[in-house]
Amino acid sequence: MPAIAHGSFDRRRVVERVIHDGAGTARGGRSTTVGPSGTMRGSMIVRTTQLTIPEPFSLRATALSHGWHECAPMHWCDAAGCLQVIERDGDMPVRLSMVDAPSRGGQARVRLTVEADEISDNTLSLMRSRAGVMLRADLDLTGFHALAAETPVLKPILSIGAGRLIRSASMAENIIKTICGTNVNWAQAVKMINRIAQLGPYIRNHRNLNAWPTCGEILKAGDDYLLGVARVGYRTKSIRAFCRSVVDGAFDPDALDAVARTESTDVLCKRLTAISGVGPASAAFLLGLLGRFDKVGVDSWTIAYTAERYFNGRKPTVRQVEKLFARYGEWRHLAWWFEQWQQWETAKSMLNGGNRHQGPRARRHQA
């Protein structure tokens, strides 16, 4: 898992990192204006823009809403309050850095800094759109916030701006990461994901800052890489089959966002479970990333949590767990998630007003 230091940092220097040349000499100490395409920092173009998101919202609570922030190409720096993501525009890697900006008129704002070799208006617009998808800026969660305000177990999350689930902009990336996270503890899943991420293009002179690879790039690396380097084990077959279906045009994962706005949950769930390596619990998790929250994924962690909290230590059936959260209707996935999320040390720290980050507790869950 990426090691993020939590010492004392100058926020500006963390957010606006210097780009170094191959000899390690700092070249980005000053920014030089280059006209409408932005500024130069070293040999990189830098442009900034903003996102607006309805309150309540917190970048930190959203970034730490689940474990994606521990997986490349995302990196969270708690000291700077900065979420960094390496994206791509075609074959060109692009570094995105996001920090909270002062809110205005009931709208939270996030400052987005974009760095790349070239940044056209189209690239800037594309990166802004993808950052919005990552933070779920487009979702209307008014109904969930109203539910949380009336539900004692959920009400605390409103005070820290929680309620949105971070995701990768690409659904192909979300799906492969989800497959890596099944039937394994989280620390092992992070290692698998980060090794796969190394297949993508990287920021010049920063070999460890990779964008997520395309399905074609993963196929080109082959089973030897997936088995011997990424060490994904039996998941190799599922990842290969998924990537092949995308490359061959048999499946378009990035069409799922549009499909999720029109199809029923059951039909959408069938689409997801048709993917090799995606079972009912993984499908429910992916539905949440697509903005559909009316299905709870019941895996071993869900069973363990609900047994302890609601069934006096007795193992409940899947049906009992589903019935338990059915009262939340279309918001049941978010209600379940942010109820149990408050038990994580990350959430406890925020709820107690702290700034200490610990990742999700190690867990093993089923597909």
Confidence at residue 39, expressed as pLDDT on a 0 to 100 scale:
74
Domain total in the chain: 2
* Residue-range definition of the domain harbouring residue 242: 171-346
Same domain, 182 and 152: no
> Looking at the structure, do residues 61 and 208 belong to the same domain, yes or no?
no
Query: Which pLDDT does position 31 carry in this prediction?
Result: 43
Residue 354 lies in a domain: no
Rounded to 5 degrees, what are φ and ψ at 279?
-95, -175
Same-domain status, 240 and 329: yes
For residues 213 and 77, membership in a common domain is answered with: no
Q: Are residues 140 and 187 in the same domain?
A: no
Looking at residue 305, its pLDDT comes to 96
Within-domain flag for 360: no
At 353 the pLDDT is: 86
Pair (126, 261) in one structural domain: no
pLDDT value of residue 42: 64
User: By three-state DSSP, how is residue 86 classified?
Assistant: strand
240 with 299, same domain: the answer is yes
Residue 319 included in any domain: yes
The residue behind tokens 């395409």 is: 37
What is the C-alpha separation between 317 and 300, in angstroms, rounded?
11
In a domain, 99, yes or no: yes
Q: Which tokens is 278 given?
A: 């995606």
CB 18 within 8 A of CB 12: no
Asked if the structure places residue 253 within a domain, the reply is yes
Positions in the chain whose pLDDT score sits under 50: 1-35, 355-365
Indicate if 199 and 252 belong to the same structural domain.
yes
- For position 233, what pLDDT does the model report? 98
In a domain, 366, yes or no: no
Q: Is residue 138 part of a domain?
A: yes
Tell me, yes or no, whether 202 and 149 share the same domain.
no
| Domain at 134, CATH number | 3.30.530
Residue 170 has a pLDDT of: 98
Find where tokens 């040390």 sit. Answer: 345
DSSP-H helix ranges across the chain: 11-15, 59-63, 121-135, 142-149, 171-180, 186-197, 215-228, 235-247, 256-259, 265-273, 280-289, 300-310, 318-325, 332-341, 345-351
Last residue of a domain, one of 160, 182, 206: 160
- pTM score: 0.87
For residue 367, being part of any structural domain is answered with no
pLDDT digits (tens, 9 = 90+) for 45-70: 999 999 999 999 999 999 999 999 99
Domain with 289 in it: what CATH number?
1.10.340.30
| CB contact at 8 A, 309 and 320 | no
Q: Are residues 178 and 141 in the same domain?
A: no
Asked if residue 335 and residue 192 are part of one domain, the reply reads yes
